Chains A and B, each alone.
Chain A
Amino acid sequence: MDWWEIISNAIRTGIGSTVIIYTLAAIGLNLHFGYTGLLNFGQVGFMAAGAYGVGIMTRTYHHPLWVGVLVGLAAGFVLALLLGLPTLRLRADYLAIVTIAAGEILRLVVRAASLQEYTGGSSGLNGVADEFQDKWNFIWTPEARYGERIFGGRLNFRFTGGELWEMLVGWTLVLVCLLVMWLLVSSPWGRVLRSIREDEDAARSLGKNVFRFKMQSLVLGGLFGSLAGIFYALQQNSVQPDNYVTPVTFFALTAAIIGGFGRIWGPVVGAMIFWMILSLTENILRQAEGQDYLPESLIDGVQVGQVRFILTGLGLMLLMIFRPQGVFGDKREIAIDVRK
C-alpha cells in the first residue's frame, strides 16, 4: 500500500475546498446552536439561497459576479427573516421543523421544470463563476501547476493555480468569519446569546428582548451558510440542485459536534477531521481492494464509498463516547445537567 499517497490525499482534503465549504456552514450552525441554542436543521437551504443568488444573477440575468454575491447574501438574509418571524416566538423544536422543511422546499422549487429558464431546472446552471478564476484570480494562472512534491517526492503538494486561488479565497473567508464570530460572541451581545441558550425565560426576566437576539443570531448564522453556498458555487463554477440535499446540513452539524459546539475554532477543526477521516478510510479501502487485500466477495469498488461512511460513523461514536464535548469543548459543561 502506498501510505504516502494516502497521507498526501488526506492532507490535500484537509486544506481543500470541501472542508472550507463545510467549515463556513458549520460556523453558522455553531452560532445558531452552540451559542444561541437554535435548532437549525436547514443550513443547506441558506447555502442554496446563496448559490442560486450567484447563479441566477450571473447566468440568467448576466450581471457581474459581485452583484451575484450580494444578491446571494441578501437571499440568505430574507430566508432567515421568513423562517424566524413565525417560529422564534415558539418553542425551539418549531424552528427545527420549519428549517428542515424549508431546505427541502427550496431544493424542489429550484429544480422544478417550470422554473427552468431561471434556475436551469434539474441540470442547474453552469459557468456561473467564470469571472472568479478568469478575472478575479490575479496571482496564479488557473490551469498552470505550482508547488512541489516534498519529502523526496513522496508528499504531493502540487496544485493548479485555480485550486490555489480557491484555497486562498476560501481560507481568507473562514478567517474573516472566525474573527467576526470571536468579536461578537466575546461581547455582551454574545453573553446574551449564551443566556438564551441556557434559559430564555431567565434572559427575559432580566430585561433582554429574546426574540430580537434570536433573530439576529438566525440571520447572521444564515449569512455564514449563504457564504458557504456562494463559495460552493464559485468553486464548482456551477449550481446543481442535487448538491443541496438534507445530508449536507447534517455533515456540517457533525463537523460542528466533532470540533465542539460553543467554541470558535470548533467548526474548522471538526470539518477537517470529518473530511480527513473520510479521505483516509476511502483511500485505504480503495488501495486494499485494488491490491486484493480485501477479497471481491467481501467488498467491491462500489461498496467502498458506503463502507467509508460506516467506518466514519464508528469513529464518531468513539469520539462521542470518549470525548463527548468535542475536540475543543469543556468537559465540565457536559457534566452539568442542564435540565435541573
Chain B
Amino acid sequence: MSASDESNEIVFGQTAGLGGAGSLREADWPNPARGMFDTVDPVPGASKPDPILVASDVSRSFGGIRAVSVERLEVQRGAITALIGPNGAGKTTFFNLLTGFDKPDSGNVMFDGETASGQASYKLAIKGMVRTFQLTKVLARMTVLDNMMLAGQQQSGESMFRGFIRMWGGQEAGVREKALEILAQFNMTHMSGEFAGSLSGGQRKLLEMARAMMAQPRLIMLDEPMAGVNPALTQSLLEHVKRLRSEGISVVFVEHDMDVVRDISDWVVVMAEGEIIAEGTSDMIGSNQAVIDAYLGSSHASLTEQILTGHIPDVEEVEAGLAEAAELEAAEIAAFEAETGPIEQVGESSDD
C-alpha cells in the first residue's frame, strides 16, 4: 500500500487546518485549468496560451558555479505549476530570482506584462507575486492575528504620519475581519491570539500560506510547502492550494514529494543542474528519459521511473535496482575503457 492511500484513510480531527480541510472535497474546488494545456508542447521552454510569468535567459552564478541558467519558462495563468528536480538543481535559487530576493546576472523576468527583474522584492509582492519560504518565516513574537493583519495590502496606517494621527481605525477593522475570515478558512481561528512562535511546524506552514493569501496575490509562489508536514496536514494543504486555483490565483510550487506533484499540479517543470530539462503534465514527466537520467543517472532507469510514477519500491526492489545499475555502470566503464584506455582516478570530479 502506498503512502498516499494511507493518508486518504485518516479521519480529520478538529486540530488546526484539518477540520476545515477535511470537509473540503475536490468537487467543491473546480479546476479552471482543465484543458488549458491541451495545446501546449511538452518541451522545455514551451509557450503557454496565457502566461502570467515569463523568464527568458535568466542566469545566476556563484563564483565559478552556474547555479541557474534558464533559457525560457512560461507559467500559465490560473494553473498550478510544479517545479521539481533533484537536490541542488537550483530550484530555490531560481525562485529567489523570480521573486526579486536575488538578482539575476543576466536575463529578464516579466510578471503579467511588466518587467520584474531588477525590481525590489517588496514591489513585486505589492504587484501580486507573493512567496513563501522553504524554512518557514513566521513572525515568532507576534500573534497569529498580527501575522495575518501585517499582510493586508495598502494600509494607510503604515505611513508613519498617518499611523501617528490614527487615520486608520476604519481600515484596521476591515483588515481584521479579512484576516479572521482567512484564518477561519484554515481552521485556525482559535489560535489567533497565540504567538506564532508557539505553533508546530505544520501549523507554521499553514499560517504562512494563509498569510500569503491575505496579501491578495495573483501569483503565489510556494517553496516546498509540504516539507516536514505530516501526511494528514499535507492533504489539508493540498486542498487549500486547489482552492486558491479555483479562486483564479496562479500557483507555482517547489516540491520533492511526487505524490503531491501528481495530485495537484496541472503542469510540471523539471530542473537539473540549473537548467529546465523537461516540461509536461505529471504523466508525461514520469516517462521522460531526461528526467529519469537527471534524478538517478542513466543506469537507474527502471527504479526512477517507478518512483516518478508514484510507486514506492520496497527494500528488495531498491537493492535489485541498485545491483542492476551497478552492473550497467560497470559495463559502461568497461566499454569506455575498451575505447580510450584505462581511466585514471584524479580526485573529485569538478563539474558538479
Contacts and interface: CB of A to CB of B under 8 A. Distances in A.
Nearest to B159: A189
Given A189-B160, A190-B163, A340 B140 contact: yes
Contacts of A201: 101, 133, 137
A5 interface: no
Contacts of B198: 332, 335-336
Shortest Cβ-Cβ A-B pairs, 9 listed: A187-B163, A189-B163, A336-B197, A188-B157, A207-B125, A198-B139, A202-B137, A207-B126, A206-B151
Nearest to B151: A206
Interface of B: 99, 101, 120-123, 125-126, 130-133, 137-142, 146, 149-151, 153, 155, 157-160, 163-166, 168, 172, 175, 195, 197-198, 211-212, 215
Contacts of B164: 180, 183-184, 187, 189
Given A198-B141, A209-B120, A209-B122, A203 B150 contact: yes
A204 B155 CA distance: 15
Contacts of A183: 163-166
Contacts of A191: 142, 146, 149-150, 158
Given A192-B158, A209-B122, 18 more contacts: A183-B163, A187-B166, A187-B168, A188-B163, A189-B160, A191-B146, A191-B150, A194-B146, A195-B139, A195-B150, A199-B139, A205-B125, A205-B133, A206-B150, A207-B126, A336-B140, A336-B141, A338-B197
A201 B168 CA distance: 25
Contacts, number: 117
B141 A205 contact: no
Contacts of B137: 199, 201-202, 205
A262 B139 CA distance: 15
Nearest to A220: B160
Interface string A199-243: 101111111111000001000100000000000000000000000
Contact of A340 (B123, B165, B197): B197
Nearest to A205: B131
A326 to B, nearest CB: 14
A205 B139 contact: no
Nearest to B152: A188
B142 A189 contact: no
B215 A207 contact: yes
Nearest to B127: A207
Contacts of A208: 122, 150, 158
5 contacts: A192-B158, A205-B121, A206-B150, A337-B140, A338-B141
Most buried by A among B132, B153, B157: B157
A205 B132 contact: yes
Q: Which of B155, B166, B215 has the most CB of A within 10 A?
A: B155
A69 to B, nearest CB: 21
B171 to A, nearest CB: 8
A315 B157 CA distance: 41
A35 to B, nearest CB: 11
Given A187-B163, A187-B164, A206-B151, A198 B140 contact: yes
A333 interface: yes
Contacts of B125: 204-207
Contacts of B150: 191-192, 195, 203, 206, 208
Contacts of B131: 205
Contacts of B168: 187-188
In this complex, the member of B140, B168, B212 whose beta carbon has the largest number of chain A beta carbons within 10 angstroms is B140
Nearest to A333: B141
Contacts of B166: 183, 187
A220 B138 CA distance: 27
Contacts of A195: 139, 142, 150
Contacts of A337: 140, 197
Nearest to B171: A188
Contacts of A192: 150, 158
B11 to A, nearest CB: 30
Nearest to B201: A340
Contacts of B140: 198-199, 336-338, 340
A203 B122 CA distance: 8
A206 B158 CA distance: 13
Contact of A207 (B149, B153, B197): B153
Contact of A333 (B151, B195, B215): B195
Nearest to A337: B197
B157 A210 contact: no
A19 to B, nearest CB: 26
Contact of A202 (B138, B153, B163): B138
Contacts of B165: 183
A173 to B, nearest CB: 17
A202 B139 contact: yes
Interface string A322-340: 0000000000110111101
B49 to A, nearest CB: 29
Nearest to B149: A191
Contacts of B120: 204, 209
A95 B308 CA distance: 49
Nearest to A197: B141
Nearest to A338: B140
B122 to A, nearest CB: 5
Nearest to B221: A205
A265 B160 CA distance: 21
